Structure 1
């Protein structure tokens, strides 16, 4: 059995080292013609790589290449980045925000340390969020939004992912009747009503896998995408990702005997936030990344990681290796959806979310992914919809949603997060794509321009 020496470092000493030697961030626009190079030197600790990647992706930057080296108490990371249209970062204010975000990443805390689960809350709470994990059934999101509207809650932010017939969603709430804390009686009532909706749909046997939580989240620390990954992982959505999927996605785990590393290789179709998703699952599975090289060429991305389990582990454990492969495949797949993307930008009005989801449900469609929030007085978001019978979704659903909500609504098959099905009519996707309006753009990055805080805490309410 191999024994790997890993010194135990007291957290107070580690924190002192970070204060004495804060991160050095160098933003280089001269070395390469087609990209900006971001170089970071910093004291090393578990999770800091994820925080760096998270800071860059939250600003809507595209990471085309990265080189990671952190074998020891210090890290040296290099990222080749561009903006969303492939240009270098020449805007001085954006460069300033990148520098600020990366420096602030070192003081980030784990989500669990700043998020409180409410079991039998006896006091009023602020910043209430619902977290739900259950079986994916058509119409579920519509019923949940209708219940919340009936109970008198405003939805200030909502997001949901589906994968392997499971769904996780996070919904942030406000009391529509008054601003301020939500009392314990209302908390108990909303928990009961939502539990009834989910259990009625899932039945007794499926209901055993339902996880409904009410949480009070702290300011500026609750990263939604990471939390969705954690919820899916806790639910075991990766268990259905078999060996055949691993071959398809080209995910492999080998052994580097000389240094005692596991060598993780991932080759897959490139898309936004792929690097973040991979590093997220490695971090949450308690793997330390000592070296890594990431590059994307045309439509494909290659990632190579040299890792060890945190605290040491038997690297010959075959079941652990297979679990890591399955979890990486799941991390790649979770953000990708089949079907039609419907972008919406409209006036923020009470009941908006409930109306949109009702129209989708009444037309025999199911929601495979959603993210919606507000910018000023405007509600902005995206719904990914699929036909429950497996047929292609008619893009005219965008017009039906527009009639119900007003504003700009666009159907788009060409999202980087969408894997479209072949069209049965024989038409190409470009022939069926709606071109009546400009696609509205919603992203975390656009909202983090003005302040580098949690997106949900900056939202004004969607009055639904």
Structure 2
């Protein structure tokens, strides 16, 4: 039976490849018909997940999708996207336009370049996945452990949601600058990181995975938090301001052919990707969709069916779809003050910076770490203790500690709280080894 199923699946794959080669996708990029945006039209043979492929390619190019119209009934997929660059201008960079045509057009059907969204093969670094209970100082402790183990963090993304934290980090060996391959050393890294993640003493578990597989980081973070069931809120107190809560509804049409999902929320970067990925990963197919994000708020409407062809079947399933979409929206919400650090990369940089943030009693709600050409660009979203606004004096303390020329503070004026006149500057130099998790350092060995 298993052999027959594999044979049937392989035949379906070969038929799909043949059909796509006989009916290659067509991409039209139009910078004339719309006053404020570049219009991208994609026509292609339909297959499950194709919408996610297209949206991910546009999103990974840091393009903003302001409007979209999607239709994929039958065997054909037709999309129209209105996109701009991050400055709100039309996309005119010929290198970007060429990449879009190559990635979504006829060349994507060649056997040598079959699209595999989210997979980038590389042996330049080792990928580490972390999942556990969120707490103040967690990123600082993880970074310090990796630095002590002679690991350089070249890329990392950290999300927190509903008391949980997930991270995907790419590290290299301090000495060789390449991936870490020694099994014993990898085992020690995993064990020590698990000890740090378990330091919160929460009921729910923690995990640390070291792998050579490199997947699309943001997709993997969604998958990790979804598998951890972060969408199950203890209560609704997450939304102190009910206005900040996404409005998600799921209703079945009267003929019961489709379920209609509508989403209204504050617009932000990569919102469409997060929604489409969640629906796709939950095994739903988007047949029609309309997206409008030209103002401060986004309105999205999806006509969906389960991959087995059925609409949403029960109230329990409807409730789960709503919960999962709300979680997908909230995971990437950038709460807190935005700090941008740009500096020459070195081993221990992230550890030093996050230590300073922790010692100033700030918590990191989200972080992005990138390294390119010897330069490190780190972005942190930080908040004060118990959700309080960050004092301006605290930011000045951090600035003085890491240098005025490399730290930029971005955010609205109301996100900074003026410090009381008699409030002393809070900066503690001696707190690094007082953290309870560093008792685990006795296990660390030197690898030279």
TM tier relative to shorter chain: 0.7 to 0.9
Once the two structures are superposed, the pairs formed by residues 387-402 of structure 1 within 5 Å of their partners are: 387-402=384-399
Which runs of 5 or more structure 1 residues have no equivalent in the other structure?
Answer: 1-6, 117-124, 427-464
- The reply to whether residue 18 of structure 1 matches residue 17 of structure 2 is no
The one of 219, 223, 226 equivalent to 1:226 is 219
> CA offsets per residue over residues 313-344 of structure 1, 9 Å max, x none?
46331111110001111111111132211111
- Is 1:267 the counterpart of 2:264? The answer is yes
Question: Do the aligned partners of residues 422 and 351 (structure 1) sit closer, same or farther apart at CA in structure 2, a change above 3 Å counting?
Answer: closer
Aligned to 2:196: 197
Choose from 150, 155, 170 the match for 1:157.
155
Equivalent position to 2:230, from 231, 234, 237: 237
C-alpha separation between the residues in 2 aligned to 1:241 and 1:272? 27
For residues 154-196 of structure 1, give each alpha carbon's deviation from its aligned partner in whole angstroms, at most 9, with x where no partner exists: 1111110001111100111111122445211111111111112
**Residues 392 and 424 of structure 1 are in contact (CA less than 8 Å); yes or no, is this contact kept in structure 2?**
no
Whether the 8 Å contact between 2:285 and 2:306 is mirrored in structure 1 is yes
CA 1:336–1:25 in 2, change beyond 3 Å: closer, same or farther?
same
Counterpart position of 2:98:
96
- Hey, what does 1:108 align to over in structure 2? 115
Give SS of 1:240's match.
coil
Deviation at 1:422, TM superposition (A): 8.6
Mapping of residues 261-300 of structure 1, within 5 Å: 261-300=258-297
C-alpha separation in 1, matches of 2:248 and 2:369:
32
Name the residue aligned to 1:172.
170
- Residue 34 of structure 2: aligned partner: 32
SS at match of 1:217: coil
Residue number among 63, 88, 100 corresponding to 1:61 in the alignment: 63
Distance 1:314 1:254 in 2: 9
Q: Report the counterpart of residue 329 of structure 1 in structure 2.
A: 326
Which residue in the other structure is 2:212 paired with? 216
Tell whether the 8 Å contact from 2:91 to 2:97 is kept in structure 1 after alignment.
Answer: yes
1:148 to 146, 149, 155: 146
User: TM-score normalised to the size of structure 2?
Assistant: 0.83
Question: In 1, Cα distance between the equivalents of 2:376 and 2:18?
Answer: 43
Provide the secondary structure at the position in 1 that maps to 2:20: helix
Which runs of structure 1 show a deviation greater than 6 angstroms over 4 or more consecutive aligned residues? 113-116, 241-247
Describe the shift of the 1:127–1:76 C-alpha distance in structure 2 as closer, same or farther (beyond 3 A). Answer: same
Cα distance 1:174–1:251, how it changes in 2: closer, same or farther (>3 A)?
Answer: same
Query: What is the CA distance between 1:58 and its match in structure 2?
Result: 1.3
Match of 1:363 among 337, 350, 360: 360
Which structure has more relative contact order (CA 8 Å, sep 6+)? It is 1
Q: Distance in 1 between matches of 2:278 and 2:251?
A: 18
Assess if the C-alpha contact under 8 Å between 1:241 and 1:326 holds in 2: no
The runs of 5 or more residues in structure 2 that have no matched partner are 1-7, 421-448
**Equivalents in 2 of 1:274, 1:315: separation in Å?**
23
Number of residue pairs matched by the alignment: 401
SS at match of 1:157: strand
Contact 1:48–1:105 (CA under 8 A) maintained in structure 2: no
My pick for the range that moved more, 324-333 or 389-398, is 389-398
SS in 1 for 2:388: coil
Greater Cα shift, 67-76 or 397-406:
397-406
Match of 2:371 among 358, 371, 374: 374
Q: Shift of the alpha carbon at 1:127?
A: 3.4
Cα RMSD for the two superposed structures: 2.7
Aligned to 1:412: 410
Q: 1:252 and 2:249 equivalent?
A: yes
Deviations along 1:104-153, whole A, 9 cap, x unmatched?
A: 77733365x8899xxxxxxxx86311111111011111111111111111
**Distance in 1 of aligned mates of 2:92 and 2:328:** 32
